[in-house]
Amino acid sequence: MKTECIKKVEAFVKAELGQDATGHDWHHINRVRKMALYIWEKDHLNADPFIIEMAALLHDIPDEKLNESEAAGLLKLQTFLDRLNLEETIKQQIIEITTTISFKGGRKLELQSLEAKIVQDADRLDALGAIGIARAFAYGGKKGQTIYEPCIEVRNEMTNEQYRNGRSTSINHFYEKLLKLKDGLHTYSAKQIAEKRHQYMVKFLQVFYNEWNGQA
């Protein structure tokens, strides 16, 4: 039953996000799923792998930036879950995880389960390193942001509304979000993986500024 359920979720997510051009496509979802299960197994964590896999696959479905509104995203997720033969407690766990792990301007929510921490770590790891850099520029371009504009200052404190709709650049996004992710991870394996990916981004920024300033 669980295998059949996973297949239905995969088909649904591919239909919803398969053509996404903001870095939240099926490949991102699948990487997060694989990483979450890797962390669970590698760290021998006492968590439910089915909940982890389901939440990882569905984590971007209710995301407000990919829907008309937060309410519309939540409704889409709930409507889909209601079509599955799942216990109500499992549905609520999935909803709780997918609606609390998002960055949203750096807000700090106390995650209610180990499964949520694992999925959040996996999702945030995909925003780091080479893939994270590629996704940052894909999202910025889709959103109409410039690559870099020195006169636009980095925002250190902001509301979710300011984070979503305020003026920024793709390079600023590194400072407003990506470089902050390493210190907010929960699991041992995620922290180990993040260290190397974080340093890769730091090096990228150094090279970027050298080239921006016309240096060899």
Alpha-carbon Rg for the chain, nearest whole angstrom, is 18
Among candidate residues 5, 6, 2, 1, the one with its CA nearest the CA of residue 29: 6
Q: How many CA atoms lie within 13 A of 56 on its CB side?
A: 31
pLDDT exceeds cutoff 90 at 188: yes
Single-letter residue type at 194? A
Structure tokens at 187: 């699991």
Q: What is the DSSP string of 128-172?
A: SHHHHHHHHHHHHHHHT-BS--TTSPPPSS--HHHHHHS--BHHH
Q: What is the pLDDT of residue 139?
A: 95
Higher pLDDT, 70 or 181: 181
* Average pLDDT of span 46-68: 95
**What does the alpha-carbon distance between residue 112 and residue 168 come to, in Å, rounded to a whole number?**
32
pTM: 0.93
By mean pLDDT, which of 3-12, 54-63, 97-106, 127-136 is the weakest? Answer: 97-106
